[in-house]
């Protein structure tokens, strides 16, 4: 299952493979002298109980990039990020972070990265200011710069007003923001954000996105894992999708969407005519290359000529006696990418349904 | 975009890599400060580890004072029960305060600070040294408070200020094995309730089945047997010897030293060995918990 999926993806679209080769070419010449932010070769990690969390991950991330790492729960995102942050030692493979070997130069790696783990990690008994201050001291920010740096970061994450309150009283969103501030005290050239907005309401999420964009604009490389495809689409220069411990596809959000092969025509039908509708769409001549999926409301057709021949299909459906209650032609989203790659949608929770803040 | 390129091309290994000003002692100090600050803010730490022994001190002297005083005077004539009890309460404080070390570690694991510290460039031995130093410092302060209160209640420290300092030192030494033990519980259970329950369940049997509250000679034989194996007996006897300035060690008979030291030296020796033994177990478990090796 894994193997077929892995080999299928690059082979199925020659243009994507060409783009990959292009990318490699460009970066090797431009970045020959400076080490890349992250270089991973053949990373494998097997837990003591035999679980193969990561098997053969390759990754090369240039400095300054906003890189997104996507995948469903349990695909190996957090394991990979923990290896990069030196919290886990790889079973096999080469891992270089900021030019340092993650295995033998752990301390150098640690002083050159910021890490915001999936679970909010702040000391609830300390105030916001004390939390940031402790991080300054832990990362050896020079004594004279600590006060300014602390004020600056509290300002960045909008916690100046509550700077001297104990973090225990903070909302989920405030805690996340404080956590983000503590990961940035030493102005690291590379920051790991492991699902930084999971569990936050949309407002708190947008606010964090703004901070991440800002530090990325200032030159910081960002490695972000997320379950929210919209988040990846909004923020990332480049994405990789991991499934069952292997990277199955990699590229810019636009490239990944192109991978889907066309545009998406969603058709809503009345009653329970879903299967019948899908059958008609599959037999429909102009959509010979299309993929047809049934959805909750009706069907979803992905085809290069979706816009051109969409109305013809609607006519054909009417002739067959199917009542169409709605339709829409749209650009593919990363959700469609996921569907195309994995055969099932990413089980993301919609932001609006969650509590938080 | 230009800023990005500047960094990519001219940044070399990265701007902040070499700016770390950390030293081993600096790292110890940073963690020492953090844990002291937390101790002051955490009601659990203060209430459980100081107020409870103080309540014991008052209740025991008030309720059992007369009866227990007679029993005590049968063995050691002419001392009040307050004087007899204060060294035991000092050891109780050390025991209760030591539990908070493991509780602190579990809290850190639960709220993510443990991992946060691991991912920082701080020296890991320094991190634990700083935390332990803060706990030992607090135990020394708390034992001193108990001694002060005891004197106010009428207890007498026969060896004076030097002896009092000695009792504080015995209290600190005594706490080490339980500090180590509570950290072992913390690493193994990784759960706050289990750590508190595990450590507290042990606390009372350890205290009562020892020479803490009554002389061993008036207790049943099975308790005397258990007490001889109980670290609390060695801590209490060493502290009490300093309090009374006489050899009150009943479980180890020796006369190679002079008077009081015949009780203090064996007690200190046993406690040191115990601290090293359990300390080694704790250090082993902690270094396994902090290592990046896949488990």
pLDDT score, position B45: 72
- How far CA A4 is from CA of A114, A122, A300, in Å, comes to 36, 43, 25
Residues in chain A: 357
A319 vs B2, residue with greater confidence: A319
For the domain that residue A222 is a member of, what is the CATH number? 3.40.50.300
pLDDT score, position B208: 93
Instruction: Provide the residue range defining the domain that includes A213.
Output: 2-257
Nearest CB to A189: which of B7, B9, B21?
Answer: B7
Chain A residue with minimum CA distance to B123: A107
- How far CA A330 is from CA of A306, A324, A341, in Å, comes to 9, 17, 19
pLDDT digits (tens, 9 = 90+) for B228-280: 999 999 999 999 999 998 888 877 777 777 778 888 899 999 999 999 999 99
Whether residue A29 has pLDDT greater than 70: no
For the domain that residue A315 is a member of, what is the CATH number? 3.30.70
Strands (E), A281-322: 291-294, 298-303
The mean per-residue pLDDT over the stretch A100-119 comes to 92
Residues in B closer than 8 angstroms to A98, CB to CB, are: 13-14, 17
Whether residue A272 has pLDDT greater than 60: yes
| ipTM score assigned to the predicted complex | 0.84
The mean per-residue pLDDT over the stretch A7-20 comes to 42
pLDDT score, position B21: 65
Cα gap A353→B254, rounded to integer Å? 74
Q: Under 8 Å CB-to-CB from A111, ≥6 apart: which residues?
A: A139, A140, A186, B16, B17, B20, B121
CA angle, A194 then A195 then A199, to 5°? 145
Contact flag A142-B19 (C-beta cutoff 8 Å)? yes
The mean per-residue pLDDT over the stretch B25-39 comes to 94
Instruction: Provide the residue range defining the domain that includes B182.
Output: 23-290
Considering only CA atoms, which of A211, A205, A222, A195 is closest in space to residue A62?
Answer: A222
| A342 belongs to a structural domain | no
Same domain membership, residue A229 and residue A119: yes
Nearest CB to A219: which of B4, B22, B122?
Answer: B4
Whether residue A158 has pLDDT greater than 90: no
Question: 3-class DSSP state for residue A116?
Answer: strand
| B199 belongs to a structural domain | yes
Nearest CB to B4: which of A64, A108, A110?
Answer: A64
| B12 belongs to a structural domain | no
pLDDT score, position A13: 43
Cα-Cα-Cα-Cα torsion A274, A279, A283, A289, nearest 10 degrees, comes to 70
Contact flag B111-A124 (C-beta cutoff 8 Å)? yes
Q: What is the DSSP letter of A117?
A: -
Nearest CB to A110: which of B14, B111, B121?
Answer: B121
| A15 belongs to a structural domain | yes
| B→A interface, C-beta within 8 Å | 3-9, 11-17, 19-22, 26-27, 30, 34, 37-38, 41-42, 111-113, 115-122, 291-295
| A340 belongs to a structural domain | no
Neighbours of B152 (CB within 10 A): 9
Q: How many domains does chain B have?
A: 1
Considering only CA atoms, which of B1, B228, B217, B211 is closest in space to residue B88?
Answer: B211
Contact flag A87-B22 (C-beta cutoff 8 Å)? no
Our CA-based measurement puts residue A119 at a distance from the nearest CA of chain B, in whole angstroms, of 7
Residue of A85, A88, A219, A220 to mutate for B, most B C-beta atoms under 10 A? A219
Same domain membership, residue A206 and residue A126: yes
Reading across the β-sheet that carries A246-251, which strands appear in turn?
Answer: A113-116, A190-194, A221-226, A66-70, A238-243, A246-251
A352 vs A286, residue with greater confidence: A286
Contact flag A125-B42 (C-beta cutoff 8 Å)? yes
Neighbours of A327 (CB within 10 A): 18
Residues in B closer than 8 angstroms to A110, CB to CB, are: 119-121
The mean per-residue pLDDT over the stretch A39-67 comes to 92
Cα gap A28→B289, rounded to integer Å? 39
Whether residue A340 has pLDDT greater than 90: no
| B15 belongs to a structural domain | no
| A273 belongs to a structural domain | yes
A275 vs A345, residue with greater confidence: A275
Our CA-based measurement puts residue A211 at a distance from the nearest CA of chain B, in whole angstroms, of 16
Residue of A138, A164, A221, A223 to mutate for B, most B C-beta atoms under 10 A? A138
Q: How many domains does chain A have?
A: 2
Same domain membership, residue A266 and residue A183: no
pLDDT digits (tens, 9 = 90+) for B219-234: 999 999 999 999 999 9
């Amino acid at each position: 299952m894994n193997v077929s999926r892995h080999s299928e993806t690059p082979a199925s679209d020659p243009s994507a493979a060409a783009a990959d080769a292009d990318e490699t070419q460009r970066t090797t010449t431009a970045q020959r002298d400076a080490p890349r932010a992250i270089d991973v070769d053949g990373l494998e990690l097997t837990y003591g109980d035999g679980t193969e969390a990561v098997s053969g991950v390759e990754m090369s991330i240039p400095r300054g990039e906003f890189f997104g790492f996507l995948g469903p729960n349990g695909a190996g995102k957090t394991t990979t990020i923990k290896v990069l942050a030196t919290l886990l030692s790889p079973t096999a493979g080469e891992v270089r972070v900021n030019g340092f070997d993650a295995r033998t130069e752990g301390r150098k790696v640690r002083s050159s990265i910021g890490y915001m783990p999936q679970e909010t990690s702040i000391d609830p008994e300390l105030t916001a200011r004390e939390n940031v201050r402790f991080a300054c001291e832990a990362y050896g920010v020079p004594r004279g710069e600590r006060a300014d740096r602390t004020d600056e970061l509290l300002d960045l994450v909008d916690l100046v007003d509550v700077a001297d309150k104990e973090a225990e009283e903070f909302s989920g969103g405030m805690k996340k923001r404080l956590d983000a501030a503590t990961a940035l005290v030493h102005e690291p050239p590379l920051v790991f954000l492991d699902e930084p907005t999971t569990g936050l309401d949309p407002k708190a999420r947008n606010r964090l996105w703004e901070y991440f964009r800002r530090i990325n604009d200032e030159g910081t490389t960002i490695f972000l894992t997320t379950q929210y495809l919209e988040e990846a689409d909004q923020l990332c220069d480049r994405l990789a999708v991991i499934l069952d411990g292997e990277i199955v596809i990699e590229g810019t959000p636009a490239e990944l969407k192109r991978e889907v092969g066309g545009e998406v025509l969603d058709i809503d039908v009345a009653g329970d005519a879903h299967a019948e509708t899908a059958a008609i769409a599959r037999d429909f001549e102009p959509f010979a290359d299309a993929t047809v999926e049934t959805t909750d409301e009706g069907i979803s057709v992905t085809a290069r000529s979706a816009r051109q021949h969409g109305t013809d299909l609607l006519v054909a459906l009417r002739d067959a006696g199917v009542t169409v209650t709605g339709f829409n032609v749209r650009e593919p989203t990363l959700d469609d990418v996921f569907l195309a790659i994995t055969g099932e949608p990413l089980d993301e929770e919609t932001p609006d349904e969650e509590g938080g803040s | 975009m230009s800023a990005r390129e500047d960094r990519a091309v001219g940044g070399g290994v990265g701007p902040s890599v070499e700016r770390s000003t950390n030293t081993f002692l600096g790292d110890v100090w940073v963690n020492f400060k953090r844990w002291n600050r937390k101790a002051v803010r955490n009601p659990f730490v203060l209430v459980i580890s100081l107020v409870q022994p103080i309540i014991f001190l008052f209740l025991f002297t008030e309720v059992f004072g007369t009866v227990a005083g007679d029993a005590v005077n049968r063995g050691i004539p002419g001392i009040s029960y307050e004087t007899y009890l204060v060294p035991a309460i000092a050891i109780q404080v050390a025991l209760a305060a030591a539990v908070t070390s493991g509780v602190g570690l579990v809290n850190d694991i639960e709220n993510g600070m443990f991992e946060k510290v691991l991912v920082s460039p701080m020296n890991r031995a320094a991190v634990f040294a700083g935390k332990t130093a803060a706990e030992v410092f607090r135990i020394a302060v708390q034992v001193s408070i108990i001694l002060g209160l005891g004197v106010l209640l009428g207890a007498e420290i026969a060896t004076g200020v030097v002896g009092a300092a000695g009792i504080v030192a015995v209290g600190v030494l005594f706490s080490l094995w339980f500090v180590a033990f509570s950290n072992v519980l913390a690493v193994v259970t990784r759960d706050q309730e289990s750590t508190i329950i595990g450590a507290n369940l042990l606390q009372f049997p350890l205290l009562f089945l020892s020479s803490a509250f009554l002389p061993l000679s008036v207790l049943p034989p099975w308790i005397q047997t258990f007490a001889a194996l109980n670290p609390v007996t060695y801590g209490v006897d060493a502290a009490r010897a300093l309090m009374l300035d006489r050899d009150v060690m009943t479980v180890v008979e020796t006369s190679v030293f002079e008077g009081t030291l015949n009780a203090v030296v064996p007690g200190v020796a046993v406690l040191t060995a115990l601290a090293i033994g359990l300390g080694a177990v704790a250090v082993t478990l902690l270094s396994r918990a902090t290592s990046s090796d896949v488990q």
